[in-house]
Amino acid sequence: MFCLDERLQADTVYLGRLPLSKVLLMKDSRYPWVILVPARTNVYEYYHLKKEDRLQLMEESTFVAEKMADHFAPDSVNVAELGNVVAQLHVHHIARFKADPAWPGPVWGHSPAEPYSEQALAERIEEVTNLLGSHFIEESEADDDVQDTVYW
């Protein structure tokens, strides 16, 4: 059964579901930051996904990056998959601005996250859900755990 990594659970808010991926909002108020997590068990790298899932993840990632670029008008949208701290495959989509505190370097390790106020978090959740929600599906329609091969 698919389970979201504990660190991702702690650091994010669940927004919705795309056909392959859970869509999460990172709880760092400095950056519009969306994370896609393919709902597959024991998947730690792109190459662990079946070919169809790799293609679906690329489609979902492209959709999120384009929507974020159009809406937030950032200087760059950083898209990255790192497995150094959280092994579960997840893809970051971060709208970056020349005025943001980590520019031009990566956001990881720069400084601690700055939490949203309760109101600002509710507003960002609504904003990003409105931005991406046209492609969300019901969890009951999702095809979780079709890949259960263990990789090491």
Q: What domains are there in the chain, each with its CATH number?
A: 6-129 (3.30.428.10)
CA-to-CA distance for 53 and 117, rounded, in angstroms?
36
Say what the pLDDT of residue 140 is: 77
Quote the CA–CA distance of 21 and 60 in Å, as a whole number: 8
3-state SS class at 128: helix
Residue 151 is inside which H or E element, if any? none
From first to last of the 152 residues of the chain, give the pLDDT tens digit. 899 999 999 999 999 999 999 999 999 999 999 999 999 999 999 999 999 999 999 999 999 999 999 999 999 999 999 988 999 999 999 999 999 999 999 999 899 999 999 999 999 999 999 999 999 999 877 666 655 443 32
Which residue reads 């990594």 in tokens?
5
> Burial letters for 34-61: b for 16+ Cβ neighbours within 10 Å, e otherwise?
bbbbbbbbbbeeeebbeeebeebbeebb
Q: Looking at residue 139, what is its pLDDT?
A: 84
> Hey, how many other C-beta atoms are within 10 angstroms of the C-beta on 128?
24
Predicted structure pTM score: 0.92
1, 41 contact by CB (below 8 A)? yes
